[in-house]
Structure 1
């Protein structure tokens, strides 16, 4: 593969893929019920089992 071809791919589709991944992560974090699960996960190190 040529460097310029790889560069064009990264500039267009690579950027789009990274942006969609970021939006998906934000949407996953802000989903309904996510706050409760995040609070439970935050308390795991403090549990005395």
Structure 2
């Protein structure tokens, strides 16, 4: 059970930090300057052939 306990402590501390950093990076990527045009273009993909 020592391996399980060590992995659980690692996930509780560094795992949470990694998830928070990933979330901040994803939000920053989505709201970066110049991404509106790319997002609008991606949103219109299903309607291009109509």
With the length of structure 1 as denominator, give the TM-score of the two structures.
0.89
With the length of structure 2 as denominator, give the TM-score of the two structures.
0.88
Aligned pair count reads 49
> Which runs of 5 or more structure 2 residues have no equivalent in the other structure?
none
CA RMSD between the two structures? 1.4
> Which runs of 5 or more structure 1 residues have no equivalent in the other structure?
none
Structure with higher RCO (Cα < 8 A, 6+ apart): 1
Q: Which runs of 4+ in 1 moved over 6 A?
A: none
